[in-house]
Chain A
């Protein structure tokens, strides 16, 4: 497919500035009309690059996200919870797989994306740089982290790039289930012993702020927002989505009998929303820069898995080569 050769080049050929402008204007008007962009369609190089960044970051988040939850598979407290968690983490790997495939339609290989992750060039959601210290953290991740992810991703089912939008439909269905399983874990803990309830409150205390940070910097500081909104690969602003998350989550915490760790959370009848306190953006930028509690460990684990698995991947290629040679020899 011709689109695969375009990355890093000034689109196709060297069109004059005016013809490029015309193309971009046509491209934008198709997006404005709600027509999906497909891999074989012409697209501005910046659109392609932005999507590659966005989709691959999303894919990496799914893959790295396996680690904090996978941390509790061997210690899940009942066989039913263990089965659900195994299925959930398997879903996340699946999301990674089809998001990588969606990104590949834009002309980058999975190997390149994986390499960018392992060298630290590409980012993933900084939430996964926080540790899962107790079983309640598995509940909190489902409830809050997957909850925030859904909030972000539901609009993307309508985004302008076809393969991404279609991948998001399936991802969102599964994430909705993940969020329910997380909340269900919290319900069981909050109906349990004082020790279990304390575990749940501690998890909420530690995951609340990082979950709100997942939506990215405040609108005023968000570098990619305006253009992405025009291209319909971002349909709501960071702050709009964050507000939705707060509005959804505060009553859920109350239902659990847990206290949101922000004394400024209060219903504002005038706005029709919950007010909430200031987010510590210094912490956010610090974790993004690589200084969160688990940044090094997560990347080390991924790198080790990749290096340890090299012989395996090479062997599959060697076997396929042998089979191909055999087939050629037999045909001759």
Chain B
């Protein structure tokens, strides 16, 4: 079970870390000062969650690993985040669409983890769920205001949603690790979140006058098992450059 728990923590931690890294790329370049601050704030919250989750994973591994060795010294095939969070920022509509789909999922996932039989995971979820509830309120609000804003913003947001939508499927596909964690009362069955997630997304889209993309079609997956898109290794090359070029140094 400890191997599955380790894997499970990496999945949760890597989701937060990689999305935070993407949001950090926006720093100083947002469409309004308030957005710059809000997006940095979300990045900071996610980074905090990643640090707690990766530290917990490292602690259990007990091989001298820590949050930094996990963040900076794994290759892309060893990362366990979903494909959604590693997708490039694109324009602000693309970033927002990605964020909204993730926030809606994360808020449900963390709520499930509140009752995890693993006390350490439940404690992290308790802290994180407060932050993510705010992230979701913010991204939902912006979906509505931009979806039902100008003709241009509506079109941009619809294009962004259509583009990122296929990556949402992976959030709800379980595997043996999920099954083991669910059986142990530590985690949840990913598929069990889908109806509630879709109902919420539908509600926000309706208010935002956005169309829900058609079901079916291309559904990329594999991030959770370490099979990523081409984007991740480039993201890691940037993130890990100092640790890799100064082996053994402390910062």
Q: Which residues of B contact A185 (CB under 8 A)?
A: 251
Which residues of A from 82 to 107 have beta carbons under 8 Å from B?
82-83, 86-87, 89-90, 93-94, 96-97, 100
For A285-307 the 0/1 string (1 means CB < 8 A from B) is: 00000000000000001001110
Judge whether A70 is part of the interface by a CB distance below 8 angstroms.
yes
For B25-37 the 0/1 string (1 means CB < 8 A from A) is: 1011111111111
Taking a contact as CB atoms under 8 Å apart, the answer to whether B149 and A316 are in contact is: yes
The smallest C-beta distance from B154 to any residue of chain A, in angstroms, reads 8
Q: Which residues of B contact A316 (CB under 8 A)?
A: 145-146, 149
Q: Which residues of A contact B29 (CB under 8 A)?
A: 70, 301, 304-305, 308
- State in angstroms the CA–CA spacing of A10 and B146 once bound together: 43
Taking a contact as CB atoms under 8 Å apart, the answer to whether B33 and A97 are in contact is: yes
* Interface 9-mer from B41-49, B119-127, B223-231: B41-49
* Interface 9-mer from A13-21, A190-198, A255-263: A190-198
Taking a contact as CB atoms under 8 Å apart, the answer to whether B152 and A314 are in contact is: yes
Which residues of B from 6 to 56 have beta carbons under 8 Å from A?
17, 21, 24-25, 27-37, 40-41, 43-44, 47-48, 50-51, 54
Q: Which residues of B contact A154 (CB under 8 A)?
A: none
Taking a contact as CB atoms under 8 Å apart, the answer to whether B67 and A79 are in contact is: yes
- State in angstroms the CA–CA spacing of A92 and B47 once bound together: 19
Taking a contact as CB atoms under 8 Å apart, the answer to whether A97 and B47 are in contact is: no
Taking a contact as CB atoms under 8 Å apart, the answer to whether B37 and A75 are in contact is: no
Of the candidates A79, A90, A311, the one whose C-beta lies within 8 Å of that of B156 is: A311
- State in angstroms the CA–CA spacing of A43 and B80 once bound together: 62
For A6-27 the 0/1 string (1 means CB < 8 A from B) is: 0000000000000000000000
The smallest C-beta distance from B217 to any residue of chain A, in angstroms, reads 28
Taking a contact as CB atoms under 8 Å apart, the answer to whether A196 and B50 are in contact is: no
Chain B, Cβ-Cβ closest to A82:
B47
Taking a contact as CB atoms under 8 Å apart, the answer to whether B44 and A87 are in contact is: yes
Taking a contact as CB atoms under 8 Å apart, the answer to whether B40 and A313 are in contact is: no
Judge whether A322 is part of the interface by a CB distance below 8 angstroms.
yes
Size of the chain A interface, CB-CB below 8 angstroms: 50
Q: Which of B47, B48, B67, B149 has the most chain A CB atoms inside 10 A of its CB?
A: B149
Judge whether B118 is part of the interface by a CB distance below 8 angstroms.
no
Chain B interface (Cβ within 8 Å of chain A)? 17, 21, 24-25, 27-37, 40-41, 43-44, 47-48, 50-51, 54, 67-68, 71-72, 91-92, 144-146, 148-150, 152-153, 156, 238-239, 241-243, 246, 248-251
A-B contact pairs, 12 of them (CB 8 A): A66-B27, A70-B27, A74-B25, A90-B40, A305-B30, A306-B31, A310-B31, A311-B150, A311-B152, A314-B149, A314-B150, A315-B153
Taking a contact as CB atoms under 8 Å apart, the answer to whether A75 and B239 are in contact is: yes
Q: Which of A81, A87, A319, A322 has the most chain B CB atoms inside 10 A of its CB?
A: A319
Taking a contact as CB atoms under 8 Å apart, the answer to whether A75 and B241 are in contact is: yes
Q: Which residues of A contact B248 (CB under 8 A)?
A: 193
Chain B, Cβ-Cβ closest to A306:
B31
Q: Which residues of A contact B149 (CB under 8 A)?
A: 314-316, 318-319, 322
Taking a contact as CB atoms under 8 Å apart, the answer to whether A315 and B47 are in contact is: no
- State in angstroms the CA–CA spacing of A293 and B146 once bound together: 38
Taking a contact as CB atoms under 8 Å apart, the answer to whether B33 and A312 are in contact is: no
Of the candidates A70, A75, A192, A319, the one whose C-beta lies within 8 Å of that of B146 is: A319
Judge whether A135 is part of the interface by a CB distance below 8 angstroms.
yes
Chain A, Cβ-Cβ closest to B239:
A74
Of the candidates B21, B54, B72, B153, the one whose C-beta lies within 8 Å of that of A74 is: B21
Judge whether A188 is part of the interface by a CB distance below 8 angstroms.
yes
The smallest C-beta distance from A147 to any residue of chain B, in angstroms, reads 21
